[in-house]
Structure 1
């Protein structure tokens, strides 16, 4: 007996489902991350470089990616510039691992916004564009913005700002991006890297890859005996503020090296090998920039980059490389394998464009912009001027042939800073020009006990005077006293003085660190002899920032916008006080200023003057700006005639006109 209804044994989509299952069960051909990416990844037409992913366009990514995939070291550290392909390399590594050896992966970005706006969309593009992954993705409710399931294993996207996300699950592979941007402590629970690496203790082949552009520190290059190459030296931890660089120098310290197109010898491309015409504008320098080979002096141009990258090799101290590109020898024995790649190797940005950005930052006299140009553009540490500025003779060389009290022609505005002591007021007046170029106008002391009014009267006379026809625009007075120290006076005296001269003066209070260089707050000050209180604005200063900024100015190239100039008759004591403290890092990485000589009052004054110039926005004044005319031009004065008698009608008309203007 047969059924009259012809029912199919399988649903209509069965062939598709069985085909998908077959693809999932088919073993993948072993490939390295670069091989897998070249075969499986394709960029959409909207991408900057649409079409097949070509990892060999950036050959310097191949070896780091392969070492991460090999998992033969627990930690791989990679320091590089911006726009060099590090994020795409992370996607290659993750895609290859999920396709070939599925295991839980943790990606950690510096903050939530970075995850949401930059990385997660690229993860989804990877999962959609790679045929070998698309069928393995669990979609629907199992997929969230921060958790993807591929081939049955999770890929979690976490922010370093969330300690709970870093402690959620065990992982076989951790990818840490922009490590230097991450917070040093997460809600009091320690370094994020320590939390991340504990998540891999249960996996024998766990690997943590840490990638970042560097930030601040002082480093020098030394010639390696084995290869003759100039490598970055290992520096004391106190000299390095950049977390990624500290990790890097604990490892093997591989450097990306190029062969010279002229002599064939390999060298390490760095910023100090760049050359451009002296005095050239940023645009002119961009067109004429080249690299000078350290071996033969040959001119290495942008057109040589592709071939040099193709033949490039990673070489570590203790190894050597011949002209055929064969690397011999073994790197130092280290638990971490570490790589450094110069931003000059990036095929996406030309040598000249990197130099143009750097010179524009220098012309703006903005040390933050200069730091970004050095860190992101070249993948190198930015050395704050004050880290090794200890010799006062170097400061004395900033003297120029004018005398205190004279105002050079470039000065547009004046600021003054006052350091309050028990028996005197130490002050310094500084003139400001375009792009925060500055000149010492007068520095000195007003003698007198600061708990009495006499010395404050002298200060009132001083701040209301003029120099070269210019009045003082802003006075900052340190009020950072502690009431339990009688020798340091009372902050109330400073507040009351600033109340009386509220248009011109502001009290300040220094803090070792703040979350911003300047923070404003309001105080209530009682008027002596009255019950009335009036508001006074307090300027809170990050002393580390402003002392560092001052020392950067002291090391600024003379004649460049933003340079720091000293009067020819300035005393040696003034110069010595400017370097009376040195910046050091504690074992926890916190910066502190250590006093190395007795008097540091002018250092405090000039650091406050730096803040005062910033408050006046002198760093934004364009080059070529001139001083306003000191006196109005003379005009012919007509003969005096008696005013017409005011009539009642005219008075009413004036009042009506005034009312109309007020009501507009």
Structure 2
């Protein structure tokens, strides 16, 4: 080591000595291997020779037998026949490992420029730090070829002898003006599907990647892998036919459509009893769907569709390895149509394979090496039951995408198209207006804010989420104490919530109103009043003032300000927190808002309206409700990105009210209540924390004072 000295500061640093002297002969000898032609070795053989992977806490040689279904797709990256390889599959299946194997082959056997594109820069950096760098450091053959200069190993590139591995993310300049022999796209469906300026996007990442390999002619290849993340495009979807047996339902975007344009390979097993080939899919798992998810998962087995033979989960590894050895494996669609009208299947090297330039593969989640049937069935059944109970399909769609590896198609509800104003009124509940049914356990009041009025709906809730509207009206007149509420002629002006904060005071009495329970000598006060935070200009500030005034009166726990969050991928259905930042960029408000994932909650409301054969999670329409207000419940339609108004519809207040009520009920703990021992705020009967004795049944004007109860603590116990 050499020490640098400074008379004033003494030793500054210690630097290593210069590298040892090398003769020209040694430099030439070190460079000569780069002149060798590419080795005629498959990607899988090269990975077994050069790559080390983490297994059970230690680094071991790559083993093709762990995920044998990856052998053919990764080997096809060196094919002169195809210029692209597309792999659709679930998580925990070894998809991303294929990209490491292809990279290892390029480093050791066929040097050339390779570019790997991750979802985002953050994900790319994390992949380099957590996956790529450790793999290189623990694989001697890769480490020996890595450059030793400081710039040879960074987050954006790795320079090896004779080749360069670039690591980027999906932006236009990363896939422009560069020539690459291989472009590897990971998690394709989580990338932007159009790159370039928003007003003039250039193309998809896949098509831009194809342009980068053009210089290398038949040696170039684009490889894309991903779990699907886009729903089925109902406008383009057609029932499956024998002519295209491996066609997946087209999606609105993403890798599934790339797969459909390719050879459409599927993974097949050979039955151990009848020796017939079949594709192992989730639909062929047999278990009792009436059992609890955990118990059903324990009994799941695969059934051969030809002879009914049972294959257990412990045999999955053997079945996959037999398939890779020729007893099954990847079968693709050919150009030959048999006499039965079905397109025949063939191997990848068959000259009769579909005449396309992409070798495409789709793997079902039951085959994935690192996922168990037990976990798969448990997740599927739990999500399916949430969908049936609440109408929220977020978890169910997620199971399809990440665990099954197939595009999600929204279930067709036979009654969905039959839900009309006529059908709702035909099943209407006969109940006096303003009176809660005998099974009511709590009351919610919802307020939608318009420019010239407050739209109010009151809903009574029973056990298991059953509910019915018991009041619906609009408030048009401000309170007497509001500025210029009355003119000289004695007439009231209209409500103006955005201009006059005092107009909101008319909502104060909503929390104290008593709603009689049908046929009982008691009524219920609302458990909460939820008010729309969105509204005309100026209303947000006035709403905050209103809530703070109620909080000073000790009623802050009775009033909630709600705000809708659109999108089907919200982190939760309901959450209560202060906004991170105000809309104008200033410091956030110091109040909490009831955040609602409105698209997910509208799924639940839509499902609840269609439930006429069960009380669980059913939403009833009362017989007194006007047709125009019933129509507001059906004013929106669901698309791939969420809910929107139907053409020609302008009013949807009843639907918004229903969403507000469901959000408040879930926030208070509706889905966590033990109905055999419910908390005080949803007890059935006069012992309810919000019950008020009545002198005369069904008459709220005869209400007596409510005894003091420690209700707020019991309600707060169930809040999130």
Structure 1 residues 24 and 447, CA gap change in structure 2 (3 angstroms): closer
- Alpha-carbon separation, structure 1, partners of 2:580 and 2:69: 54
Are 2:191 and 1:136 aligned?
no
Structure 1 residues 556 and 301, CA gap change in structure 2 (3 angstroms): farther
Structure 1 residues 386 and 481, CA gap change in structure 2 (3 angstroms): farther
Question: What SS is found at the alignment partner of 1:358?
Answer: helix
Match of 1:43 in 2: 53
Are 2:400 and 1:374 aligned?
yes
Are 2:476 and 1:449 aligned?
yes
Structure 1 residues 539 and 167, CA gap change in structure 2 (3 angstroms): farther
Q: How does 1:604-623 map to 2 (within 5 A)?
A: 604-613=656-665, 615-616=667-668, 618=670
Question: How far is 1:82 from its partner?
Answer: 0.7
Question: How far is 1:58 from its partner?
Answer: 1.9
Are 2:41 and 1:31 aligned?
yes
- Alpha-carbon separation, structure 1, partners of 2:175 and 2:672: 42
Question: How far is 1:62 from its partner?
Answer: 1.9
Judge conservation of contact 2:230–2:253 (CA < 8 Å) in 1: yes
Match of 2:446 in 1: 417
Structure 1 residues 432 and 478, CA gap change in structure 2 (3 angstroms): farther
- Alpha-carbon separation, structure 2, partners of 1:62 and 1:123: 20
Judge conservation of contact 1:289–1:355 (CA < 8 Å) in 2: yes
Match of 2:265 in 1: 254
Match of 1:150 in 2: 160
Are 2:312 and 1:308 aligned?
no
Judge conservation of contact 2:189–2:230 (CA < 8 Å) in 1: no
Question: What SS is found at the alignment partner of 1:107?
Answer: strand
- Alpha-carbon separation, structure 2, partners of 1:47 and 1:255: 32
Match of 2:714 in 1: none
- Alpha-carbon separation, structure 1, partners of 2:504 and 2:172: 52
Residues 178-225 of structure 1: CA deviation (Å, up to 9, x unaligned)? 122224566846454455444434432432222111124137795542
Structure 1 residues 153 and 591, CA gap change in structure 2 (3 angstroms): farther
Structure 1 range deviating more: 52-61 or 169-178: 52-61
- Alpha-carbon separation, structure 1, partners of 2:439 and 2:128: 52
Judge conservation of contact 1:79–1:213 (CA < 8 Å) in 2: yes
Per the normalisation by structure 1, the TM-score is 0.72
Judge conservation of contact 1:115–1:159 (CA < 8 Å) in 2: yes
Structure 1 residues 242 and 129, CA gap change in structure 2 (3 angstroms): same
Structure 1 residues 197 and 326, CA gap change in structure 2 (3 angstroms): closer
Q: How does 1:347-426 map to 2 (within 5 A)?
A: 347-361=369-383, 367-383=393-409, 390-393=416-419, 405-406=436-437, 408=439, 415-420=444-449, 425=455
Judge conservation of contact 2:347–2:353 (CA < 8 Å) in 1: no
Match of 1:593 in 2: 644
Structure 1 residues 460 and 332, CA gap change in structure 2 (3 angstroms): farther
Question: How far is 1:115 from its partner?
Answer: 2.8
Question: How far is 1:507 from its partner?
Answer: 4.4
Structure 1 residues 279 and 460, CA gap change in structure 2 (3 angstroms): farther
Are 2:223 and 1:214 aligned?
no
Q: How does 1:283-322 map to 2 (within 5 A)?
A: 283-309=294-320, 310=323, 311-316=328-333
Q: 1:106 aligns with which of 108, 115, 118?
A: 115
Question: How far is 1:73 from its partner?
Answer: 3.5
Question: How far is 1:155 from its partner?
Answer: 0.5
Q: How does 1:166-315 map to 2 (within 5 A)?
A: 166-167=175-176, 169-184=178-193, 188=197, 190=201, 191-193=204-206, 195-204=208-217, 205-218=219-232, 222-225=239-242, 229=245, 231-235=246-250, 240-241=251-252, 243-309=254-320, 310=323, 311-315=328-332
Q: 2:638 aligns with which of 575, 579, 583?
A: 583
Match of 2:709 in 1: none
Structure 1 residues 388 and 479, CA gap change in structure 2 (3 angstroms): farther
Structure 1 residues 346 and 199, CA gap change in structure 2 (3 angstroms): same
Structure 1 residues 164 and 549, CA gap change in structure 2 (3 angstroms): farther
Structure 1 range deviating more: 563-572 or 303-312: 563-572
Judge conservation of contact 1:215–1:241 (CA < 8 Å) in 2: no
Are 2:73 and 1:64 aligned?
yes
Judge conservation of contact 1:386–1:551 (CA < 8 Å) in 2: no
Question: How far is 1:29 from its partner?
Answer: 3.7
Structure 1 range deviating more: 100-109 or 325-334: 325-334
Question: What SS is found at the alignment partner of 2:216?
Answer: coil
Residues 97-120 of structure 1: CA deviation (Å, up to 9, x unaligned)? 232221111111123443333444
Residues 106-161 of structure 1: CA deviation (Å, up to 9, x unaligned)? 1111234433334444323443454543332212312213210122321011233x
Q: 1:80 aligns with which of 83, 89, 93?
A: 89
Judge conservation of contact 2:578–2:592 (CA < 8 Å) in 1: yes
CA RMSD of aligned residues (A): 4.8
- Alpha-carbon separation, structure 2, partners of 1:542 and 1:188: 30
Q: 1:627 aligns with which of 657, 672, 679?
A: 679
Judge conservation of contact 1:432–1:613 (CA < 8 Å) in 2: no
Question: What SS is found at the alignment partner of 1:81?
Answer: coil
- Alpha-carbon separation, structure 2, partners of 1:617 and 1:87: 41
Structure 1 residues 581 and 514, CA gap change in structure 2 (3 angstroms): closer
Structure 1 residues 369 and 263, CA gap change in structure 2 (3 angstroms): same
- Alpha-carbon separation, structure 2, partners of 1:375 and 1:506: 36
Question: What SS is found at the alignment partner of 2:269?
Answer: strand
Structure 1 residues 277 and 127, CA gap change in structure 2 (3 angstroms): same
Question: What SS is found at the alignment partner of 1:84?
Answer: coil
Question: How far is 1:350 from its partner?
Answer: 2.0
Structure 1 residues 152 and 348, CA gap change in structure 2 (3 angstroms): same
Judge conservation of contact 2:468–2:622 (CA < 8 Å) in 1: no
Match of 1:342 in 2: 364
Per the normalisation by structure 2, the TM-score is 0.67
Judge conservation of contact 1:267–1:294 (CA < 8 Å) in 2: yes
Judge conservation of contact 2:533–2:563 (CA < 8 Å) in 1: yes
Question: What SS is found at the alignment partner of 2:419?
Answer: helix
Judge conservation of contact 2:188–2:255 (CA < 8 Å) in 1: yes
- Alpha-carbon separation, structure 2, partners of 1:596 and 1:115: 43
